[in-house]
Homo-oligomer: A and B are copies of this chain.
Amino acid sequence: MEHEELGVTRTSYLDVKAAVLDRIRSGALRPGDQVPGEERLADEFGCARVTVNRALRELAEAGVVERRRKAGTRVLDPTPRDAEMEIPSVRAEIEATGKPYCYELLTRQIATPPRPVREALGLIPGTRALHLTCRHWAGGRVHQLEDRWINLEVVPAARAADFRASGPNDWLIRAMPLSRVEHVFSAENATDEEAELLEIEPGAAIFVTERRTWIEGDAITRARLMHPGATHRMVARTSPPI
């Protein structure tokens, strides 16, 4: 926990930050839980209150906790973190429009991923992974076609998970909070197969998001998310005012 230097060991705000994050990741602190007050933590870590303050302030800026004066510090639900780029979970995105959300699992199998996926997940050739395809409906229309691979070495629990009732995105957000995300966006013309599944004309423009997620350096999942271009718009977060 402490700075591992010769001589005096002082507690850094980074130590406090890491310790609190650990408690959240390990489940000792769950969403909604109260984080001990600054004074308590300062006592516990043997440091000044300002040091704890900086640690918690940065966690609040990162969206991990919420701080209010009299109310104290609480662990936030991890879901909003996925919305960092205004990309909420598909379910939330659709429900926000007021349309009924519907999820459908198309295929599920454990298989050897094609090379681009294997490399994206950092897997050794021959390793098998969980492959899911599903559709998300908004009202009577297909909103998203999802082609996802999950790294079972990092998330072995996914092997046992049942994705028939709800999508892998919601499941992963709960199982693996606080992960890092990368998005690659592109526009493509739908292939015949994609068009059929999306219920659009072959060749129609589709908006494709390729999302990769890591936790602590390990790639968790790689998803190819396809949307009908005619109905889909993606809003990127406005830069914060300085």
Binds B, one of A134-142, A162-170, A234-242: A234-242
Within 8 A of B (CB), among A12-62: 17, 21, 59, 62
User: Given contacts A59-B242, A62-B242, A242-B21, is CB(A206)–CB(B235) below 8 Å?
Assistant: no
Q: Which residues of B contact A236 (CB under 8 A)?
A: 85, 182-185, 236
Bound state CA distance, A239 and B237, in angstroms? Answer: 12
Q: Which residues of B contact A184 (CB under 8 A)?
A: 233-236
- Distance in angstroms between the alpha carbons of A84 and B169 in the assembled complex: 26
Within 8 A of B (CB), among A55-82: 59, 62, 64, 81
Question: Which residues of the partner chain B approach A241 to less than 8 Å between Cβ atoms?
Answer: 180
Given known contacts A205-B206, A238-B180, A242-B64, is B185 in contact with A233 (CB within 8 Å)?
yes
User: Can you give 6 A-B contacts (C-beta < 8 A)?
Assistant: A62-B242, A85-B236, A184-B233, A185-B235, A187-B206, A188-B229
